[in-house]
Amino acid sequence: MSHTPSDDARAQTAHARVVLVGNPNVGKSVLFNRLTGRYVVVSNYPGTTVEVARGQARIGGITCEVIDTPGMYSLSPITEEERVARALLLREQPNVVIHVVDAKNLNRMLSLTLQLLEANLPVILLLNMMDEAERLHLHIDHHALAKRLGIPVIPASLISGRGVEELKNIVSEYLSGRQSRNLPPAD
């Protein structure tokens, strides 16, 4: 097996993995850039033309690998991008899966959240684009949503950085094992 510099970079990272998922165009890559620093590797997923970016982050004192997946609508893949996103989710055994959604179109996006939960993945829901949702006077009761889903739900506007600190605090709880799985669902 060949040994490349990216293997070295990966070997130096801790084993904790944070995977970013969501529909196309919701802000996953903006989040990836906010979380990761200098050590970013972009490579084709083996056997495909789909590019996957992996970077290092230090969250709550823990070094982890952050993986930016291609946009997906469903865990049942139709496109090559969705196949890669599904494979990354199921093969990389992430400690945290951040489902990024566009808060303006929340209804259309929650079915993927439910699919991720059904797959028993440790999901955090990030309601991005709150700046635009608020401009449209959309009110989202994120506390009620968190209770219903049994997972953390964080309002954010990644473009300005809003919500990122709260997200990091919750991610660090998952990484340190204080919160390793979903909360029990509310009854």
Ligand X SMILES: Nc1nc2c(ncn2[C@@H]2O[C@H](COP(=O)(O)OP(=O)(O)OP(=O)(O)O)[C@@H](O)[C@H]2O)c(=O)[nH]1
Q: Does 79 bind Mg ion (CB under 5 A)?
A: no
Q: Give me the least distance between CB of 102 and ligand X, in Å please.
A: 8
Count other C-beta atoms under 10 Å from residue 82's C-beta.
19
User: Quick one: which of 80, 92, 131, 173 contacts ligand X (CB under 6 A)?
Assistant: 131
Q: Which stretch binds ligand X (CB under 6 A): 45-53, 55-63, 112-120, 152-160?
A: 152-160
Q: Which stretch binds ligand X (CB under 6 A): 49-57, 91-99, 110-118, 128-136?
A: 128-136
Q: Does 144 bind ligand X (CB under 6 A)?
A: no
Q: Which stretch binds ligand X (CB under 6 A): 43-51, 87-95, 125-133, 140-148?
A: 125-133
Q: Does 29 bind Mg ion (CB under 5 A)?
A: yes
- Rank residues 105 and 176 by Cβ distance to ligand X and give the closer one: 105
What is the phi-psi region of residue 133: left when phi exceeds 0, alpha when psi lies from -120 to 50, beta otherwise?
Answer: alpha
- Rank residues 51 and 165 by Cβ distance to Mg ion and give the closer one: 51
Q: Give me the least distance between CB of 151 and ligand X, in Å please.
A: 20
**What's the count of helices (H) and strands (E) in the chain, helices before strands?**
7, 7
d(CA 141, CA 143): 6
* Residue 163 binds which of ligand X, Mg ion, none (CB < 5-8 A, kind-dependent): none
C-alpha of 138 from chain center: 23
Q: Work out the angle at residue 61's Cα, subtended by the Cα atoms of residues 59 and 64, and round it to the nearest 5 degrees.
A: 50
3-state helix, strand, coil in the chain (%, to 5): 35, 25, 40
Q: Give me the least distance between CB of 157 and ligand X, in Å please.
A: 4
Q: Give me the least distance between CB of 170 and Mg ion, in Å please.
A: 22
Rounded to the nearest 10 degrees, the angle between the axes of helix 164-175 and helix 28-35 is 70
SS3 category, 57:
strand
Query: How far is residue 133 from each of residues 7, 29, 127, 128, 152, measured CA to CA in Å?
Result: 41, 20, 10, 9, 19
Please tell me the count of residues contacting ligand X according to CB under 6 A: 16
Q: Does 128 bind ligand X (CB under 6 A)?
A: yes
Contacts with ligand X by CB under 6 A lie at 22, 24-30, 71, 128-129, 131-132, 157-159
